[in-house]
Chains A and B, each alone.
Chain A
Amino acid sequence: MNEPRLEQLSTLFEQALSVPRGQRAEFVRQVCGDDTALRQELGSLLDAEGSAAEYFDDLADAIVSPAYAAMADRETVGPRWEGRRIGAYRLVREIGRGGMSRVFLAERADGEFEQQVALKLLRPGFDSDIDVMRFRAERQILASLSHPNVARLQDAGVTDDALPYLVLEYVDGVPVDRYCQSRDLATRERLELFVTIADAVEYAHRHSVVHRDLKPSNILVTSDGTVKLLDFGVAKLIEEGAPSARPTTRTGHRWMTPEYAAPEQIRGKPITARTDVYQLGAALYELLAGRTPFGPYGETIHDLERAILEREPDALGDGLGGDLGAIVFKALRKNPDERYASASEFADDIRRHLTGHPVRARRQTVGYLTRRFVHRNRSRLAAAGIMLLLVTALTAVGVEEKRSRSALAELASRAGAADSVPAVVSELLGLSSADTLTDTAAAHGLVRTGLTYARAASRQPQRQAQILEAAGIVEAKLRDYDSAAVLLQEALVIRRRLAEARHAGNRTVASGSSTPPVARDPMRRPLLFTRPPGTVFMVDDDGSHERRITDPNETSDAPAWAADGRRVLLARLSGVHGIYIVNPDGTGLTQITAPPPGWVDYGPLPFGNDLVFFRDDSTGLSMIYQVKLDGTGLTRLTSGLRDINVRPSPNADFVLFRRDNDIYRLDLPRRIETRLTNTPNQYKGIAGVSPDGTKILFTRIDPGRFEQIFVMKVDGTHTRRISRGNYYDFLPRWSPDGTRIAFSSSRDGTNGVYIMRADGSDVRDVSRTPLTLAMRPGIGVMRVNENLSAWR
Chain B
Amino acid sequence: MSEPSLLTTDSGLLEAVERGDAAALTALFSLVYSELRILARQHRRRWQGNITLDTTALVHEVFLKLVGRHQPASWSRAHFFAVAAKAMRHILCNYARDRSRKKRGGHVPHVQLEPGEELVGRLQLTDDQTERLTALDEALRAFARIAERQSRVVECRFFGGMSIEDTATALGVSARTVQRDWIFARAWLRREMQLRLDELG
Contacts and interface: CB of A to CB of B under 8 A. Distances in A.
B58 A66 contact: no
Interface in A53-99: 53, 55-56, 59-74, 76-77, 99
A381 B129 CA distance: 65
Contact of A750 (B41, B70, B125, B179): B70
In this complex, the member of B12, B125, B184 whose beta carbon has the largest number of chain A beta carbons within 10 angstroms is B184
B122 A14 contact: no
B39 to A, nearest CB: 7
Interface residues of A, number: 80
Interface string B64-75: 100010111111
B8 interface: yes
Interface in B145-165: 146-147, 150, 158-159, 161, 163-165
Given A14-B180, A63-B92, A46 B50 contact: no
A63 B51 contact: no
Nearest to B8: A726
Contacts of A77: 122-124
Given A704-B12, A780-B72, A46 B48 contact: no
Contacts of A73: 36-37, 40-41
A8 to B, nearest CB: 12
A59 B39 CA distance: 25
B183 A71 contact: no
A578 to B, nearest CB: 18
Given A14-B180, A683-B172, A781-B72, A56 B186 contact: yes
Interface stretch (A168-176, A505-513, A616-624, A757-765): A616-624
Contact of A56 (B68, B91, B158, B191): B158
In this complex, the member of B11, B74, B136, B174 whose beta carbon has the largest number of chain A beta carbons within 10 angstroms is B174
B164 A299 contact: yes
Interface stretch (A106-114, A308-316, A333-341, A741-749): A741-749
A163 interface: no
A299 B174 contact: no
Interface string B159-183: 1010111000000111111011101
A265 to B, nearest CB: 14
B37 to A, nearest CB: 5
Nearest to A304: B53
A164 interface: no
Contacts of A72: 36-37, 39-40, 47, 58
In this complex, the member of A1, A49, A71 whose beta carbon has the largest number of chain B beta carbons within 10 angstroms is A71
Contacts of B48: 99-100, 125-127, 254
A417 interface: no
Interface string B118-150: 011011110001001100100000000011001
Interface string A217-235: 0000000000000000000
Nearest to B169: A683
A561 to B, nearest CB: 26
Contact of B191 (A48, A661, A704): A48
Nearest to B39: A72
Contacts of B37: 71-73
Interface string A1-37: 1110010001001100100000000000000000000
A703 interface: yes
Contacts of A45: 184, 187-188, 191
A782 interface: yes
Contact of A661 (B15, B75, B172, B177): B172
B53 A301 contact: yes
A300 interface: yes
A129 to B, nearest CB: 15
Nearest to B181: A10
Given A44-B191, A728-B72, A52 B52 contact: no
Given A63-B123, A68-B88, A748-B2, A10 B159 contact: no
Task: Summarize B's interface: helix, strand, loop or mixed.
Answer: helix
Given A619-B180, A705-B15, A74 B75 contact: no
Contact of A49 (B18, B39, B176, B190): B190
Given A74-B47, A642-B177, A65 B52 contact: yes
Interface in B76-106: 76, 88, 91-92
A83 B96 CA distance: 27
In this complex, the member of A48, A63, A620 whose beta carbon has the largest number of chain B beta carbons within 10 angstroms is A63
Contacts of A751: 70, 72
B64 A481 contact: yes
Contacts of A62: 129
A532 B72 CA distance: 20
B61 to A, nearest CB: 7
B73 A780 contact: yes
A481 to B, nearest CB: 7
Interface string A595-630: 000000000000000000000100111100000000
Nearest to B164: A299
B177 A703 contact: no
B112 to A, nearest CB: 14
B123 A64 contact: no
A706 interface: yes
B1 interface: yes
Interface in B1-20: 1-3, 7-8, 11-12, 14-16, 18
A705 to B, nearest CB: 6
Given A49-B187, A706-B11, A64 B64 contact: no
B201 interface: no
Given A301-B50, A620-B179, A642 B188 contact: no
A546 interface: no
Nearest to B165: A299
B123 A749 contact: no
B45 interface: yes
Nearest to A65: B51
Contacts of B57: 479
In this complex, the member of A10, A72, A616 whose beta carbon has the largest number of chain B beta carbons within 10 angstroms is A72
A320 B176 CA distance: 26
A346 B3 CA distance: 58
Contacts of A13: 184, 187
A181 B122 CA distance: 38
A730 interface: yes
B74 A68 contact: no
A14 B183 CA distance: 9
Contacts of A481: 60, 64
Contacts of A67: 88, 91-92, 119-120, 123
Contacts of A17: 183
Contacts of A99: 48-51
Contact of A66 (B36, B49, B68, B123): B123
B74 A620 contact: no
Contacts of B44: 74
Given A73-B41, A127-B45, A481-B64, 19 more contacts: A1-B146, A14-B183, A47-B191, A52-B186, A55-B186, A59-B132, A64-B161, A65-B161, A66-B51, A70-B122, A71-B33, A74-B40, A77-B124, A436-B45, A620-B174, A642-B173, A704-B15, A705-B11, A749-B1
27 contacts: A1-B146, A6-B146, A13-B187, A14-B184, A17-B183, A52-B189, A60-B158, A60-B161, A61-B51, A61-B52, A63-B92, A64-B92, A65-B161, A67-B119, A67-B120, A70-B119, A72-B37, A73-B36, A254-B48, A300-B163, A479-B61, A481-B60, A704-B11, A726-B11, A746-B73, A751-B70, A780-B73
Interface of A: 1-3, 6, 10, 13-14, 17, 44-49, 51-53, 55-56, 59-74, 76-77, 99-100, 125-127, 254, 258, 299-301, 436, 479, 481, 616, 619-622, 642-644, 661, 683, 701, 703-707, 726, 728, 730, 744, 746, 748-751, 778-782
Interface of B: 1-3, 7-8, 11-12, 14-16, 18, 32-33, 36-37, 39-41, 44-45, 47-61, 64, 68, 70-76, 88, 91-92, 119-120, 122-125, 129, 132-133, 136, 146-147, 150, 158-159, 161, 163-165, 172-177, 179-181, 183-184, 186-191, 194
